[in-house]
Each structure stands twice: as structure tokens, then as C-alpha cells.
Amino acid sequence: MKRCASKWIPFILIFAFQNIIATANTDSTKTAKPSISWEAFGDFFWAYDNNKPTGENRQPFLYNHNRHEKVDLNLAYFKLGISHARYRANLSVQTGTYINDNYASDHPLLRHFQEANAGIALNKKKNLWLDAGIFASHIGFESAISAENLTLSRSLLAENSPYYMTGAKLSFEPNSSWKMSASILNGWQRIQPIAGNSLPAFGTQITYTKNPKFLFNWSSFTGTIDPDSSRRMRYFHNLYGQWKIGEKILLIAGLDFGLQQTGKSSSSYHTWFSPIAVAQYRLSERIKIGSRIERYADINNAHIAPINSQGFDCNGYSLNLDFAPNQSILLRAEIRHLQSSTAIFKNDEKWQTGNTFALTSVVFKIGKK
């Protein structure tokens, strides 16, 4: 009998906690105390959209800073972490407009858990780990935490791939250059599995770091977004490279590529892809400039919900300025333009082919590692 991945997660968590207790009593490092960390984060924003869209959200395919002419909270969270040579655990609760927009498919109470996971080391070298719970996604180089990204707004690539995953993950670091993981998941960015779906999803990640100046990452997802009765398989890959040039320049180039069956048991597929390049230049310790060029092409609406009969095909350009008066505060401003050959952008009166908006943000982040 098939079982959803989520049915196994409580047992994996119990197994992890049992082993944490057992390890604390038997491991040679049992006298070492675990380190406890905490972190508080808040991202307040204001945006002006030249299209002056009506309604709650500026655009239906954006999930961050997605309000017009309104000071609002995009994301705030409080996180507790426990770390030991043989075990680890994280719990993070969150709120903000990002939660309302991006967690619509999950239960209202579960949406407020950004992370809830525990893990144990499976070998003496402590380079093989089993973790289970809710995690940040293994896909992409942009996270839901704006202060960690080179640009203020998220790319179309990031907004339309998972920010979080739920399941169990086996990770392995054979040496300082390679990191690998394999996951069994509840689905494409879901805490709870899709009703009526008995097939778990699977994810992989391989990261290679040649030196502090170069990194390459390949992540994948295999699964479905449908119940068993209408199952269409989805195969998705994310690749990116990161280069540090001197002490001032950081470059990232990436590509998302996805395939999805056109119908159950079909041999034909719809595809989408998104190339991107991002650059950041450090003017000083406190001031940085960032820029991005991108394209997102989903002409068959395999992933992005249909806006018109001609699919989604969009180019984007952005320029942003960051100022950090101290380690706890980050002030950011960005100008961004999106352009499509068809009318896919909300307007106060009608849909438009272009969208220009200004975005500002004040980020607070404090904590203890």
C-alpha cells in the first residue's frame, strides 16, 4: 500500500529525537554542551507600482513585497536553534504578507512555521546527517530572507520555485569541496501533501566549492502537484554558479528548467525555463550596488497560472542600492522593470505589457550564534 511522505515524517522525527537522547549518553562528546542560538528578523517595505493595480496584491505571480502604496511587513520571524556535534534542531515561527501570499495551499496554523526540523549525525566523522521536518528549500540561491539576497526583490525564478520543503533529508559532505543531499518530500512547496496524492516527491542537491571565490550548485525536484486521479509528473532542475572577483564584485548566473506532463500518463510535456544573471559591487563596508537581468518563459502555463491565452513570457531588469548603518539594520531601495510581449501585468483599468515599480525596505536582524 502506498503512503504519503508526510505519514513517515513523525516517525522519522521520533527516531531522530530518540537518537539525540541516546547519543548524548553514549558518544565520546557527551560532555560537550550543545550551543543554543536565536535570531529575530523583520522586513518592512513600501512599494510604488506605476501600473497602480487594484486589489490586495500587485501581481499574481509575485509573493514578496507584493503590495502597492502601503507600508507593510513582508516577513518577520523568531528562530531558535540547537547545535551539537551529533545532533541539531531548529524552530522558527513567522508572520507577514509573504506568509499570506506564499502559503495559501497550507493550513492557516502551519503557515506560521518557517522551520521545524531535527537531525542526527549517522557516522563518527559527523559528515553524514539525517534531518526531518520543515526546511528552507534546497532549490535556488535566493531565500525568503531578503537580507541574504543580492537584490531586494526576488527574481521571477525564485518567486516561482519552492521557498520551503517538508520531508526527510539525507546529507553528506565527503570533503570541504563537495556537499550532497537527497530528500523525500511532501510535494512542491507544501507542508501538507496534496489531498488524494499517494506519491512522495524527491529532491537532490550537489554543491561544489573550488575555493572561496567559486561555487557551483545543481538541485532537482521530481514529483507531482496533482492527486492520483489526474497525476502529471513534474521534473525540475536548478543550476547556478557564483563567482567572487577580487574583494568588491560578486556574480551569480543561473538557470531553471522544468518539464511537466500535459496529462496523466502522457508522453508529451510542457516546459518552462528561466535564465538569470545577478551582480553586486561593494562600494564600501556599508554601501553596495546590485543589478539583475532575467527572463521567465512559461508559454504553456505549465507552472504559472494562466493570465491570458498566450502564456507567460517576461524579461526583467533591476537596480538596487543597499546601506547598512550597522550590523543589525539594512536599508534597501530598488527600481525594477518587467516587460512582456503580451498583457500580463495588473493595472487599475486594464492589463499592461510592462510594469515598472520602486521598492524600499528596512530590515532589522539581531541574534546570538
Domain boundaries along the sequence of the chain: 5-368
Average of pLDDT values for 178-189?
Answer: 97
pLDDT value, residue 2: 38
The arithmetic mean of pLDDT across residues 349-361, rounded, is: 91
Residues contacting 165, CB < 8 A, separation 6+: 134, 135, 136, 137, 138, 183, 185, 186, 189, 203
**pLDDT score recorded for residue 1:** 35
Q: Which pLDDT does position 32 carry in this prediction?
A: 78
pTM, rounded to two decimals: 0.89
Q: Which among 127, 123, 137 is positioned nearest to 165, based on CA atoms?
A: 137
Measured between its terminal Cα atoms, the distance across the chain in Å is 45
| SS3 of residue 357 by DSSP | strand
Q: What pLDDT shows up at residue 16?
A: 52
Helix (H) or strand (E) holding 295: strand 287-298
Q: Answer whether residue 104 shows pLDDT above 90.
A: no
Paired with 365 in beta bridges are 41
Task: List pLDDT tens digits, range 217-264.
Answer: 999 999 999 999 999 999 999 999 999 999 999 999 999 999 999 999
Q: What is the pLDDT of residue 348?
A: 72
Which architecture, in CATH terms, is 5-368?
Answer: Beta Barrel (2.40)
In the three-class reduction of DSSP (H, G, I as helix; E, B as strand; rest coil), residue 27 is classed as: coil
> Is the model's pLDDT at 10 over the cut of 90?
no
Say what the pLDDT of residue 309 is.
Answer: 74
Mean pLDDT of 326-339: 97
Banded model confidence at residue 15, pLDDT cuts 50, 70, 90: low
* Tens-place pLDDT, residues 195-227: 999 999 999 999 999 888 999 999 999 999 999
**pLDDT range class, residue 56, cuts 50, 70, 90:** confident
pLDDT for the residue numbered 305: 84
Please tell me the number of Cα atoms within 13 Å of 330 on its side-chain side: 24
Compute the average pLDDT of residues 152-162.
97
